[in-house]
């Protein structure tokens, strides 16, 4: 199982049909598509990315699947999500790093990712889940993951449960998954 598939399993525990979700890093649109399917026709997904190419790819994928009407595509950084999402959400997904097949010099960074995580926590309803797939192999990725782990380790244990998963037997620097469940 891929680490992204594991993230999907966690999201399924919290996101029901008619729910509201956020894809904080639209990228190629795979998580956005997954969320759009999960929320069903009565739900809503907000998908963020700073790259026009990422939103173009996501839009094309959603159009092919006839799911674009469930998604609002927003071209701003994920650290600005609370300016665009004003309702409580059941799920937020982050897939950090760079746009696959895109400009690898444009990567997520710890400062904006931490701000985005804090905003996601403020939007998350009780019983909601946030997943963060982090890639320590890209430039700045190791520092980004460390900052996220340090922050999540300090979350109030009466309000949140945090899990951390990483494949131990993969070569190089395998991706990691952080899951935050709001009680």
Contact 10/130 with Cβ under 8 angstroms?
A: no
Residue 68: the pLDDT is: 98
Residue 112: the pLDDT is: 98
Residue 105: the pLDDT is: 85
Pick 3-182's CATH classification: 3.40.1280.10, 3.40.50.150, 3.50.50.60, 1.10.390.10. 3.40.50.150
**Residue 118: which of 82, 88, 83 has the closest Cα?**
82
Q: Could you tell me the pTM of the whole model? A: 0.97
Per-residue pLDDT of the chain (183 residues; tens, 9 = 90+): 999 999 999 999 999 999 999 999 999 999 999 999 999 999 999 999 999 999 999 999 999 999 999 999 999 999 999 999 999 999 999 999 998 888 888 899 999 999 999 999 999 999 999 999 999 998 899 999 999 999 999 999 999 999 999 999 988 899 999 999 999
DSSP SS3 for 79: helix
Residue 171: the pLDDT is: 86
Give first-to-last CA distance, the chain, whole Å.
27
């Amino acid at each position: 199982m891929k680490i992204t598939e594991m993230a999907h399993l966690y999201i399924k525990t919290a996101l029901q049909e008619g729910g509201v979700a956020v894809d904080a890093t639209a990228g190629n649109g795979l998580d956005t598509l997954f969320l759009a399917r999960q929320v069903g026709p009565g739900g809503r997904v907000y998908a963020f990315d700073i790259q026009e190419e990422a939103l173009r790819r996501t839009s094309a994928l959603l159009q092919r699947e006839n799911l674009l009407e469930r998604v609002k595509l927003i071209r701003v950084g994920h650290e600005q999500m609370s300016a665009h999402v004003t309702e409580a959400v059941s799920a937020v997904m982050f897939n950090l790093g760079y746009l696959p097949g895109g400009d690898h010099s444009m990567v997520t960074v710890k400062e904006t990712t931490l701000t985005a995580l804090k905003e996601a926590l403020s939007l998350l309803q009780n019983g909601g889940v946030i997943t963060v797939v982090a890639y320590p192999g890209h430039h700045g990725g190791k520092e980004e993951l460390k900052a996220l782990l340090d922050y999540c380790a300090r979350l109030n244990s009466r309000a949140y449960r945090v899990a951390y998963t990483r494949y131990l037997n993969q070569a190089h620097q395998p991706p990691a998954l952080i899951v935050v469940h709001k009680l």
